[in-house]
Every structure is written in C-alpha cells, then in structure tokens.
C-alpha cells in the first residue's frame, strides 16, 4: 500500500509536548489520565497517536488546545508551540492561537457545529475574526473552501443548516472550518470514526492532501493502525496515559518492540495470511486510571511480563535513531517476532 505521509520533516519541531500531566479531581483524590507524556511534531509532518479507547489520546489533544473540561486540569508540563508555552498564554493570546494557528477536528460534527446557525455563519466567522476579511470576501472564501472539501453546489449549500447535510458532508464542513485560516497544526481526533468506510478514506486522503498543499502539520488521533500506516510519517503508541513506543511508521510496523504495539498490529485483519483462521485480540482491558497496577501498567495483559515488570515502571528509552520504547522485555519481543517472521 502506498503511504501518503510526507516522509521527512521540512525543519525542526513545530510542537513540543514535555512531561504533560492532566488529571481529574475525584472523591478519592486526583486521577492522572495523561501521565508524563512527551512527544513532538515537526513542521510539515503527519504524526499518528494510536491506542485503545480510554488510553488518554483525546485528553492529550484537548490539553494541547487547553480545552480540558471541569473537573479536569493540566497539572504539570509544557506545550511549546513555535517556542511559546501554550499553557502560559493569557486567554486573549490563546484565542489568537486557536483556529488561527492550531485547529482541531472533533469526532462528531453535530456536537461541534451549532445547529441554529447556517454553515455560512459558522464558516465565515473565523475568516472575519482571524483574517480580517470583509463579509463579502469571507463568504466568497467560504464557498471556495466548501468546494475544496468536495461539497457539491457549494454556493447554495452554504446557507443550509447542519441538519440538512449528511454525516460525511458535516465532517467536510468541519474540515473546511479547521483549514479556513491555514493553521500551522491540524489535530484530527478520531475525525472519521463514525463515518462510512468509503467516506472515511475520502476524508482522510483529502486531509492529507490539504496538509501537503499548504504545509500544515497533522496530528491524527485514532485507534486504527491502518489509517496510520497509510497516512502518517511517525507514530506514537499510547497506553494507560503514557507513550509506550515511538518511531517512524516503517520501524513500528516492521520492528515493533512493545508487547502492546505487537498486540495492536496482530489484531489488524489480514487478507494475505491464508493460515490465520481467527483475528487475534489483546486479552483484558485498559486499567482504571484510578487503580493502575504497580510497575508496568500493561503487565496484566502481557505474556512477556516478568517480576521486574511488576516492580518498576519502564521509561521510554532510545533503541536506535528515533525509535523509542518503554518495556523491560523489548529484546525478548524482538527475538520472538524475528523467529515468527
């Protein structure tokens, strides 16, 4: 399968997340949902952030945007964007960044689009606010954007309300809004999960093309490794609030070193494996963030787990070049995979 990522970055990091901790207040005390997470996105790069539901992917994205709902809070860390720490910006400074420099596409457009406002109103507002366009110029640009994302009869549909559009069309509108001000970073949080498979592919290819055309960096948050394989340059694998493995897509897919990554890859349906009768699954469930096991939090689901895994939580360590893994038994995983292959 041809991969549509950009390959190498155009320059240095655009976004650097350092030791991010996001927690939620509970009756028994604060619970860390994002636990000491660090990663970066280079300019012009497509980065995948993958993991099961409940692993902390979406909270990480909301933390970057400073949109954590109460009773949540960002307790520690830095989110450096173009050298500025987003977590230290004033509300006014933050408003100038959201939409203009960083934009986000959410999973369900009907919870993001205002049902009582026309598409024209919702699409022209950021253009007038951030780009200082006149009402007429903003409307012309909005129609151009709708045409760009594949909305037929854009000049007429722009005055529709969201409920008059299909799910795929609403998601395209969300992409048009997100891309309207040519942001430097676009975050797509499970942006196609609820859509038909064919529409998913169309929208993902469109997002990848748009980012390539205008040089926007793209963070794809998904549980679907097939999406990452086709569109991303690098991938971070997240489990129970932490990054467990990080590397180029080719390295992660060809040489996974964390048992969780192996489990995710083995659960992908394969049509070229005639001997496999059943799709493999990862036994067990992600632990409750309020009651994580000691040591490595994946050990209760891991067939490679040892006594050391129970005692100590492994930290991300560099294997080679830009491949990192947090696992005491990564060498054992690699040796067994080599024998199988």
Q: What is the pLDDT of residues 233-255, one digit of tens each?
A: 999 999 999 999 999 999 999 99
119 CB-side CA count, 13 A:
31
The fold of the 13-232 domain, in CATH, is Rossmann fold (3.40.50)
For the CA atoms of 278, 284, 289, 290, the dihedral, rounded to the nearest 10 degrees, stands at 160
Measuring CA to CA, which residue among 53, 22, 52, 54 is closest to residue 37? 22
Q: What pLDDT score was predicted for residue 209?
A: 84
| DSSP annotation string for 208-236 | HHHHHHHT-EEEEEES-HHHHHHH-SEEE
Are 6 and 46 contacting, i.e. CB atoms less than 8 angstroms apart? Answer: yes
Q: Is the pLDDT of residue 52 over 70?
A: yes
pLDDT tens, position by position, 195-216:
777 777 887 888 888 788 888 9
Q: What pLDDT score was predicted for residue 8?
A: 42
Q: What pLDDT score was predicted for residue 193?
A: 72
pLDDT tens, position by position, 135-182:
999 999 999 999 988 899 999 999 999 999 988 889 889 989 998 888
Q: Is the pLDDT of residue 275 over 70?
A: no
Q: Is the pLDDT of residue 119 over 70?
A: yes
CATH 3.40.50.300 domain residues, the chain: 13-232
């Amino acid at each position: 399968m041809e991969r549509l990522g950009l390959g190498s970055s155009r320059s240095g990091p655009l976004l650097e997340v350092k030791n991010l901790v996001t927690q939620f207040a509970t009756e028994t005390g604060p619970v860390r949902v994002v636990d000491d997470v660090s990663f970066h996105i280079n300019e012009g790069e497509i980065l995948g952030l993958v993991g099961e539901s409940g692993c902390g992917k979406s909270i990480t994205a909301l933390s970057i945007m400073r949109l954590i709902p109460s009773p949540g809070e960002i307790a520690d860390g830095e989110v450096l964007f173009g050298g500025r720490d987003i977590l230290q910006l004033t509300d006014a400074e933050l408003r100038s960044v959201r939409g203009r420099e960083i934009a986000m596409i959410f999973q369900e457009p009907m919870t993001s689009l205002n049902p009582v406002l026309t598409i024209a109103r919702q699409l022209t507002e950021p253009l007038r606010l951030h780009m200082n366009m006149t009402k007429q110029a903003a409307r012309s640009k909005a129609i151009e954007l709708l045409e760009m994302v594949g909305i037929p009869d854009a000049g007429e549909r722009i005055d529709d309300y969201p409920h008059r559009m299909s799910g795929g069309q609403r998601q395209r509108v969300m992409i048009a809004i997100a891309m309207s001000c040519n942001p430097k970073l676009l975050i797509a949080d499970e942006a196609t999960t609820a859509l038909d498979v064919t529409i998913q592919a169309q929208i993902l290819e469109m997002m990848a093309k748009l980012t390539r055309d205008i040089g926007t960096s793209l963070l794809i948050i998904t549980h679907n490794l097939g999406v990452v394989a086709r569109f991303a340059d690098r991938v971070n694998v997240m489990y129970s609030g932490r990054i467990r493995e990080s590397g180029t897509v080719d390295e992660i897919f060809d040489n996974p070193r964390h048992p969780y990554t192996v489990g995710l890859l083995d659960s992908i349906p394969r049509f070229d494996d005639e001997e496999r009768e059943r799709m493999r699954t990862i036994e067990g469930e992600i632990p409750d963030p309020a009651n994580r096991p000691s040591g490595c939090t994946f050990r209760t689901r891991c067939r490679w787990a040892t006594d050391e895994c129970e005692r100590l939580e492994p930290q991300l360590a560099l294997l080679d070049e830009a491949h990192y893994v947090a696992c005491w038994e990564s060498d054992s995983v690699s040796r067994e995979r080599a024998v199988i292959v």
